[in-house]
Amino acid sequence: MNIYTYKVKKLHHSNIYKIISDYIEFYNYVRPCLKHKKTPHEIRMEKASF
């Protein structure tokens, strides 16, 4: 997902907000880190648990 692939005329405030929100969701909850083979969220939850 890349903001540069969208046509400028189709980018409105609500569209930009959704694109960025979707990317943040992907980056934190879906994308696995190569080193740990887990998502950043899973790594943070492991460190936070006592």
- pLDDT score for 28: 81
What is the band of 4 on the pLDDT scale with cuts at 50, 70, 90? low
- pLDDT score for 9: 67
Q: CB-based contacts of 5: which residues, under 8 Å, 6+ apart?
A: none
* pTM for this entry: 0.57
Give φ, ψ of 26 to 5 degrees: -60, -50
- pLDDT score for 32: 82
Q: What is the pLDDT of residues 13-40, one digit of tens each?
A: 778 888 889 888 888 888 887 787 888 8
Which residue type sits at 14? S
